[in-house]
Chains A and B, each alone.
Chain A
Amino acid sequence: MTLALAVDISLTLLVLAVAGWIIAVRDTFAAMIGFVAYGLLLALVWVRLAAPDVALTEAAIGGGLTGALLIGAAARLRGTEAAARAEYPGALTRTLAAVLAVTVAAALAIGVLALPDPTPTLAPAAAANLATTGVGNPVTAVLLAFRAMDTLLEAIVVLLALLGVWSLAPDRAWGGCPGPRRLVDPDGVLAWLARLLPPIGIVVGLYIFWIGADLPGGKFQGATILAAMWLLVIWAGLADTPPISRTWLRVLLVAGPLVFIVIGFAGSITAGAVLAYPEGHAKPLIVAIEIALMPTLVLTLALLVAGAPQRIPPQ
């Protein structure tokens, strides 16, 4: 299998080269574009490491949504670019930064080299108990049964991030629509794309969400695709972002984590532990949590990219 080795070596070199270049380049916009290419490379790396679940997440989040988020940030920072570039740190700062970076890298290297062989793992235990969850995909079983606490906190963290973005709104725009008003030709090519792609994208997003129970896929990846399709429609001016004061929006935003928490605490009565599922009911409960989290994640991810409220909607 020397050819497979050639694939791996060329991928490794490429990842290192692109990563080094992203750090070295001074132009923010170029760095962001490099970062999107880097996300694609990482998806390929995860495929080579036989982790298609992670590859799918990286493809959806790293290549698509994070790219859009960072590019938006870069466009906003363009005005301050020249000032930031003129500020060159002194010799002492640079030496300290170099020492810090080398120390962290060395500590990480020592940590990895000091790992016992074979590396301690819970994978056999997780695989042995997969049947009790009723879910076919071991990654979904780990995320929603064995390590459900992590997933719950993750869902809450993205919500907190959205609140952080909203809190940047000026007082007069509070409760208004995120992002600027769109001026788009309704017959233009962008509007055309936004009419053609989302119907197919919604099908693909739901498909990725649904197969997550048994094959690589799941709510996060599916929600990212749906959020991207919604953003496309918003950018094309076919729909506006909802004012953040709307009750339905706020209810949907908290509904997912709330259902997760309720089912989790019910577990302490019916199954004897918080976030435990009663015998034989694991799969329906896992699916219920995934379905409840889906709209929350779509809204949160899309509104994170849309940004802080900027204008009061016309009454």
Chain B
Amino acid sequence: MTIPDFLLAAAVFVLATVALGLVRILRGPEDADRMMATQLFGTGGIAALLLLGVATEARAVLDVALTLALLAAFASVAFVRSASSSEGDDPKETNSP
């Protein structure tokens, strides 16, 4: 088994694994759980993309992954903002229960 073949197989494995995690989007129960499933899926997708890109020597794929990684934080912040019911997005921590 050559290295590109191994990397392709690893890409399939990672993608299939994190796709299973998408069941969390279905089940919830909180919106936070759903966000986590996409977060894991995003990171797994980036990993699969990198594995594919290096295996097939498609160098432009690295730029796609770079964009995805940069915007992953952005999209998640958008999630959290809308999930927290108040418009105060990151209010000061109060330790009262």
Contact = CB atoms under 8 A, between A and B. Distances in A.
Q: Do any beta carbons of A and B sit within 8 angstroms of each other in the complex?
A: yes
Interface of A: 3-4, 6-7, 10-11, 14, 18, 21, 25, 29-30, 33-34, 36-37, 40-41, 43-44, 47-48, 50, 52-53, 55-56, 59-60, 63-65, 67-68, 71-72, 74-75, 180-185, 188-191, 193, 197, 200-201, 204, 208, 211, 215-217, 221, 224-225, 228-229, 231-232, 235-237
A52 B58 contact: yes
Contact of A14 (B19, B42, B66, B88): B19
Contacts of B25: 21, 30, 33-34, 37
Given A52-B60, A208-B66, A228-B71, 10 more contacts: A4-B8, A40-B45, A63-B68, A63-B75, A184-B88, A204-B66, A204-B67, A225-B71, A232-B74, A232-B77
Interface of B: 5, 8-9, 11-12, 15-16, 19, 22, 25-26, 28, 31, 34-35, 37-38, 41-42, 45, 48-49, 52-53, 58, 60-61, 63-64, 66-68, 70-75, 77-79, 81-83, 87-93
8 contacts: A6-B12, A7-B11, A34-B22, A36-B75, A37-B22, A44-B45, A48-B52, A50-B58
Interface of A is mostly: helix
A79 B75 CA distance: 22
Contacts of A34: 22, 25
B2 to A, nearest CB: 10
Contacts of B64: 43, 47, 52, 55-56, 59, 216
Contacts, number: 179
B45 A47 contact: no
B60 A185 contact: no
Given A3-B5, A3-B8, A201-B70, A189 B90 contact: yes
A108 B83 CA distance: 38
Given A52-B60, A60-B67, A68 B41 contact: no
A52 B63 CA distance: 9
A204 B69 CA distance: 11
B78 to A, nearest CB: 4
Contact of A75 (B28, B41, B82): B82
